[in-house]
Chain A
Amino acid sequence: MGANVQKNKIDVKKIDRIIKGYDKSEESLLAILQDFQRAFQYVPEEGMKRLSRAMGVPESKIYAMGTFYKALSLKPRGKHTCKVCMGTACHLKGAGQILETIERELKVKRNSTTEDGLFTVESVNCVGACAMAPVVVVDESYAGHVRQSKVMDILDKYK
């Protein structure tokens, strides 16, 4: 409980600092939401509310924006994001089994976060690296020709 209160306090200050760095204009909205995403690994509700007040833009519009873009998450995300490509080439090369292995080993369902908050596992449609199929992307690093037996070795490096 105490830790939670502390965390919220930091959040609010950080939120206001991010908003202050931009002009008061509708054009800044997306950039600010992206900054929230980077700073907190998700877009907090309090952030959208403060942004609405600071910019004079209705909450509904900011919420619409936050739910529209896949790059923005409204739920807290894990420290690392693990994307499993489900594009055509990766699919044919067994991406399904790779995703299932990750789900089983990390005890997590796709498009959600592990209990310890370390990984968010997502299935995505084509990351544009079909020659390396099947592809798993952890944070910004691409791993190609992933085999079912080796996929956990990649993730273990982030533990």
Chain B
Amino acid sequence: MEKITIIIDGKQVEAVKDQPVLMAARENGIDIPALCHHPELESSGGSCRVCLVEAVQGGRSRIVTSCNYPVRAGLEVNTSTDQVMKIRKGVLELLLCRVPDSEVVRGLASKYGIDEPRFFKDEGENNRYKCIACSLCTQVCEDVVGVSAISMQNRGVEKAPGTPFHKDSQACIGCGACAYACPTGAISMKDSKGVRTIWGRKFKMAACSVCGKPYIPQAQVDWIVKTTGKDRAFFDKCPDHR
């Protein structure tokens, strides 16, 4: 881990070489808004365009996505110049057109002074509800969970995550990592009476032997035991009573 010094918003800060600019800024208390980036997922980011900043290197200035732009020696980053704010505002306005139902996007846009987009609002046949098609959910499902139960389907304006053939996915373990990772709350997951419903499939939940609260889908326990060889008895109790 090679430490180098870069300049963010005129302030000299220390950062790790090749670390994303976004992470370096956040570690130094400079906030850059972002939707599609997840710190635990190296492959994530670069699709929502909310985290755009100005990067100056070798006298040349470029607008880049800070979530996947690597920190290098001599880099100077500006996160809130007039130009950056104008572009970010434009990005948020377009996102709001796409997902007018999303509270997260609406809240972020309103911080930048946009309450109603000037353009059309997507309420027609390609309405993606709250989904901005960033593919964070499918990346989590593949890289972290390792089951690839969902994938990004179709393309262009119709691109959206889903299960194969729009039917119950046999690969899904009901863990809910996709719903947890989704930056805009677009994936519905409901737990009720010991049954979890996600992606249209129902999962029986295993209950804690101490408090009796259903806390993990049985299918997820089976998957963890199968892939890690962990003792099944470990899951008898919920994390609060272990």
Contacts of B155 in A (CB 8 A): 67-68
Contacts of A60 in B (CB 8 A): 138, 148-151, 163-164, 169, 171
Q: A45-B165, A63-B165 are in contact. Are A58 and B153 (CB under 8 A)?
A: no
A61, B151: Cα distance in complex, Å = 6
Chain A 3-22, CB-CB to B under 8 Å as 1, else 0, gives 00000000000000000000
Contacts of B169 in A (CB 8 A): 59-60
The 8 closest A-B pairs by CB, nearest first: A58-B148, A60-B151, A63-B164, A64-B151, A59-B164, A67-B153, A67-B154, A60-B164
Answer yes or no: A146 CB below 8 A from chain B CBs. Answer: no
A58, B165: Cα distance in complex, Å = 13
Contacts of A67 in B (CB 8 A): 153-155
Contacts of B153 in A (CB 8 A): 63-64, 67-68
Contacts of B138 in A (CB 8 A): 60
Answer yes or no: A106 CB below 8 A from chain B CBs. Answer: no
Q: Is the CB of B154 within 8 A of A58?
A: no
Q: Which positions 62-111 of chain A face chain B at CB distance < 8 Å? A: 62-64, 67-68
Residue of chain A at shortest CB distance from B147:
A58
Q: Is the CB of A58 within 8 A of B152?
A: no
Instruction: Give the residue among B151, B169, B171 with the most A Cβ atoms within 10 A.
Output: B151
A73, B6: Cα distance in complex, Å = 51
| Contact residues on B (Cβ < 8 Å of other chain), bracket | 10 to 19
Q: How many residues of A contact B (CB 8 A)?
A: 11
A58, B147: Cα distance in complex, Å = 8
Q: Is the interface of B mostly helix, strand, loop or mixed?
A: loop
- A residues near B (Cβ < 8 Å) are 45, 48, 58-64, 67-68
Contacts of B165 in A (CB 8 A): 45, 48, 59, 63
Contacts of B151 in A (CB 8 A): 58, 60-61, 63-64
Q: Which positions 170-188 of chain B face chain A at CB distance < 8 Å? A: 170-171
Q: Would you give the shortest CB distance from A58 to chain B, in whole angstroms? A: 4
A67, B170: Cα distance in complex, Å = 19
Contacts of B142 in A (CB 8 A): 58
A61, B153: Cα distance in complex, Å = 9
Q: Would you give the shortest CB distance from A59 to chain B, in whole angstroms? A: 4
A24, B138: Cα distance in complex, Å = 24
Contacts of B152 in A (CB 8 A): 64
A59, B169: Cα distance in complex, Å = 9
Q: Would you give the shortest CB distance from B148 to chain A, in whole angstroms? A: 4
Q: Would you give the shortest CB distance from B25 to chain A, in whole angstroms? A: 33
A58, B172: Cα distance in complex, Å = 11
Contacts of A63 in B (CB 8 A): 151, 153, 164-165
- 7 intermolecular pairs with C-beta atoms under 8 Å apart: A58-B148, A58-B151, A59-B165, A59-B171, A60-B148, A63-B165, A64-B151
Q: Would you give the shortest CB distance from A111 to chain B, in whole angstroms? A: 13
Contacts of A64 in B (CB 8 A): 151-153
Contacts of A62 in B (CB 8 A): 164
Residue of chain B at shortest CB distance from A65:
B151
Contacts of B164 in A (CB 8 A): 48, 59-60, 62-63
Q: Would you give the shortest CB distance from A54 to chain B, in whole angstroms? A: 16
Q: Would you give the shortest CB distance from A56 to chain B, in whole angstroms? A: 11
Q: Would you give the shortest CB distance from A30 to chain B, in whole angstroms? A: 15
Contacts of A61 in B (CB 8 A): 148, 151
A60, B163: Cα distance in complex, Å = 6
Q: Would you give the shortest CB distance from B214 to chain A, in whole angstroms? A: 27
A152, B154: Cα distance in complex, Å = 33
Given A60-B150, A62-B164, A67-B155, 17 further pairs, Cβ under 8 A = A58-B147, A58-B148, A58-B151, A58-B171, A59-B169, A59-B171, A60-B148, A60-B151, A60-B164, A60-B169, A61-B148, A61-B151, A64-B152, A64-B153, A67-B153, A68-B154, A68-B155
